[in-house]
Amino acid sequence: MQVENKLFDDLARVASGAAGALSGIRGEVEGQIRQQFERILAQMDVVSREEFEAMKAVAVEARARQEALEERLAALEARLSAAKAD
């Protein structure tokens, strides 16, 4: 009976060690994949989310200014047409 308990204890230690090793390997593989993915993205010259949001804000502001200028131009053209009609 004692031999069986020792055998089960040894098997449990081996299984525990294997689980720990697999956990370490998993972390290492995840790290390697993350590094490779970041390297690929850097080579593709992909912008970050922060850069995208900043440029989006610039584009929205430029669009608003363009629309305001179009309104001013239309008002000036209307005044000019009215002045020519007089």
Residue-wise pLDDT for 11-69, tens only, equals: 778 777 777 777 778 888 899 999 998 888 888 888 889 999 999 999 999 999 999 99
Higher-scoring residue by pLDDT: 61, 5 = 61
- Asked whether the predicted pLDDT for residue 1 surpasses 60, the reply is no
- Asked whether the predicted pLDDT for residue 2 surpasses 60, the reply is no
The structure tokens 């131009």 sit at 73
Alpha-carbon distance 45 to 40, whole Å? 9
Alpha-carbon distance 33 to 47, whole Å? 20
